[in-house]
Amino acid sequence: MTHAHLTPKVSPAVAIESMVNIVGKDSVLLDPQDLKSWGTDWTKVFEPEPLCIVQPKTTEAVSKILKYCNDNQLAVTPSGGRTGLCAGAVASQGEIVLSLHKMNKILDVDAVGMTITAEAGVTTEMLQNAAKDAGMFFPLDLAAKGSCQIGGNVATNAGGVKLIRYGGTREQVLGLEVVLANGEVLDMNVALRKNNSGYDLKHLFIGSEGTLGVVTKVVLRLVPKPKNLQLAIMAVGSFTDIPKILQTANASGVTITAFEFFTQVAHKIVLKHLPGARTPFQEISDYYVLLELEQAEGEGVMENLLGKLFDDGIIADATIAANSTQFKEFWGLRENITESLSAHGQVRKNDISLAIDKLEGFVAALQQMLANENPKDMDLVLFGHIGDGNLHINYVSPKSRDSKDFHSVARAIEEKVFKLLAEFKGSISAEHGIGLTKKKDLHFTRTEREVAWMRQTKKMWDPVGILNPGKIFDL
């Protein structure tokens, strides 16, 4: 089994033998259990069916693998930590999975230039720890940080909880080493902060979901450690008050490092599934906001802000984390939503974004639409990086429900949501990407001409079409 546009010039057995010749027997996985777990990601929607899993240890080996696959028309799926939420790393059509798992060294931490250089298979958490050990801060932060890899972060242009303060992955990348489909190693590894000498090619690869090249090395910027972080969790009665909190915080001149929200249903599900989780509130509320501030300016900044929000009737209740344990507890209520939802039931995910000033109108229209639909046995769970206009819409049904029925009902609603989103000029993917799960919906966000230019770009960098075929769009 392979992709229609590829006619392999060698048999599967010969292809596997060639992989063994390049990386050694220990670095080619063939066991059915391994094929299953390394051939998929968090979506678990598509049945994985890779030819084999190859785990090179050097850029040179990646180059040899890709050259061989290009010459022999073999499909390759680059793979990181497999925490992706759009089936970008899924190999369901006999692809060779190229896992960067063994390229996991931090190569350099430069305390003067404030940069860190690492191989693509280093996890986000390893980068955070290395930066911390050197007295600095790596600002990319997401709940999957212990498993996701910087190569995967670059390929998905991951966002995360600190985007509001420091930008997403794109803003952290200073240099990249990428292996192209034909095996050429392209070094865009210059750690310069300013470099206006022609096209900045690295940006093409950021967010390209493994369709244009395989990231093997990354140079990232580091920032000074944030000072005196303060965290408050607030109970809010109406969604319309959430943008007001953001506006009030911005107007007061504080430095916001995170601004997240979740609904009552999301909160209840976390309390049920996260061991030891507790709510800080006596009364339940429809919405909750998590606000993190850098209190470098002096004491009382958060208290003053919360005081104003109370006086203006914007929030119903609030608690400030009193110590590091509470800090972790409050963050846990937000960061464990994705995992708790998976434990709770069947989940279909949308990850949309809107201009902040359009959020209120969109959510009102969405809630009205869903009230009319009244889907049986299905909860709507909203949460997300709302300070960036990023809303995660999750449809959740009990595990006992027939899966086909669940997905077909959720899909019908999803299409209506995307139509509504297009009217509000939003995006169908804020940070998770398109992969396999959203490619049929790309037209809601991108014009025909944009997609045509994306196809041209793909053809230029990968003329045979071996790299992650079928992801983002069909060729």
Ligand X SMILES: Cc1cc2nc3c(=O)[nH]c(=O)nc-3n(C[C@H](O)[C@H](O)[C@H](O)COP(=O)(O)OP(=O)(O)OC[C@H]3O[C@@H](n4cnc5c(N)ncnc54)[C@H](O)[C@@H]3O)c2cc1C
Residue of this chain nearest to ligand X (CB atom): 152
CB of 359 to ligand X, least distance (A): 18
Of 166 and 318, CB closest to ligand X: 166
Beta-strand ranges (E) seen in 307-440 are: 317-320, 346-353, 379-384, 390-397
Residues contacting residue 472 through CB under 8 Å, at least 6 positions apart? 209, 211, 433, 434, 435, 439, 442, 454
With respect to ligand X, which residue has the nearer C-beta, 85 or 236? 85
- The Cα 93–Cα 112 span in angstroms is 47
Q: Min. distance of Cβ 386 from ligand X in angstroms?
A: 12
Nearest distance from C-beta of residue 283 to ligand X, angstroms: 29
Which residues sit at the interface with ligand X, rule CB under 6 A?
Answer: 41-42, 77-85, 88-89, 100, 120, 142-144, 148-149, 151-153, 155-156, 158-160, 209-210, 214-215, 338-339, 431-432, 435, 468, 471
Distance in angstroms (rounded) separating the CA atoms of residues 186 and 193: 19
Looking from the CA of 298 toward its CB, the CA atoms found within 13 Å total 3
Phi and psi torsions of 6, nearest 5°: -115, 130
DSSP assigned state of 315: -
The distance of closest approach from Cβ of residue 339 to ligand X in the complex, given in angstroms and rounded to an integer, is 5
Whether 472 and 442 have beta carbons less than 8 Å apart is answered as: yes
Nearer to ligand X, 233 or 316 (CB): 233
Q: Are 49 and 169 in contact (CB under 8 A)?
A: no
Closest to ligand X by CB, 85 vs 130, is 85
In the complex, the smallest distance separating the C-beta of residue 204 from ligand X, rounded to whole angstroms, is 12
Beta bridge partners of 218: 118, 176
Cβ at position 217, least distance to ligand X in Å: 10
Residue nearer to ligand X on the CB measure, 160 or 243: 160
User: Which residues have CB under 8 Å from 270's CB, separation 6+?
Assistant: 277, 332, 333, 336, 337, 340
Task: Give the β-pairing of 229-236 and 390-397.
Answer: unpaired
Pick 226 or 435: Cβ nearer ligand X = 435
The least CB distance from residue 65 to ligand X, in Å, is 12
- DSSP label of 260: E
Measured from the CB atom, is 78 or 320 closer to ligand X?
A: 78
326 vs 364: CA distance, rounded Å: 33
For strands 317-320 and 346-353, give the pairing: unpaired
Distance, CA of 209 to chain centre: 11
d(Cα 254, Cα 257) in Å, to the nearest integer? 9
To ligand X, the closest distance from the beta carbon of 83 in angstroms equals: 3
Cβ nearer to ligand X, comparing 306 with 344: 344
Work out how close the CB of 439 gets to ligand X at its nearest, in angstroms, rounded to a whole number.
12
Contact yes or no for 28/19 (Cβ under 8 A) = yes
Q: Comparing C-alpha atoms, which of 438, 424, 252, 274 is closest to residue 348?
A: 438
Between 144 and 302, name the residue whose CB sits nearer to ligand X.
144
